Amino acid sequence: MENMFMKRKAARGWVSRLGKELVSLLGRPVLSAVELKAVQENVDILLSKLDEVQSEIEVELESDLFDDDLAKAFEFRMTSLIPRIKAELDKKGDNDSSTNGSSGAQVKLPKLELPEFKEVTEWQSFWDQFSCHVDNSDIPVISKFSYLASLLEGEAKSVISGLSHTSVNYKIACDLLKERF
């Protein structure tokens, strides 16, 4: 398990360094499309490796540590995506004008808190939010399952409690919950 934590630490370090490099590139008066693309591709590769290691950790993690680790992993990933998305938006700004797009407005959004599902009457609201922010995202399927399981309470939790956390069982868990609630 310690080996997986070290792999994750290394992947996070590289993702952070590349994020800083993206910010630096975007701050230049003249933006090199080649450099930007190279850093973006490396960010994508390392985020993918980070997702793989995170999935391995989630499968092995003890249940009392699971929720805290998952929340921290989610926060790191979302924070890491900001420079990558800004670079993509700035690149699109290049196509629309002669500037590098760095003068766009900055908006700080509050931390997203997904609701727990406890009451049958809350199902549609819960599923709409979960679907939008997790189910339709590009994170690994096993991570989606982990997020889903961490947000369920009571009867909903017991509906999927017999399923092991695997990619295949994620769809089964979703189908069972949709059918039940």
Q: What is the pLDDT along the chain (181 residues), one digit of tens a residue?
A: 889 899 999 989 998 888 888 888 888 777 777 888 888 888 888 888 888 888 888 888 888 888 888 888 888 888 888 887 877 776 655 544 334 444 444 444 456 677 888 888 899 999 998 998 888 888 888 888 988 999 999 999 999 998 988 889 999 999 999 999 9
- Tell me the two tokens of residue 59: 């499968």
Q: Say what the pTM is.
A: 0.48
Euclidean distance between CA atoms 52 and 55, whole angstroms: 5
- Count of alpha carbons within 13 angstroms of residue 169, beta-carbon side: 14
Euclidean distance between CA atoms 83 and 80, whole angstroms: 7
Burial bucket for residue 16 (CB in 10 Å: 0-12, 13-18, 19+): middle
Q: Which of 9, 165, 164 is nearest to 73 (CA)?
A: 9
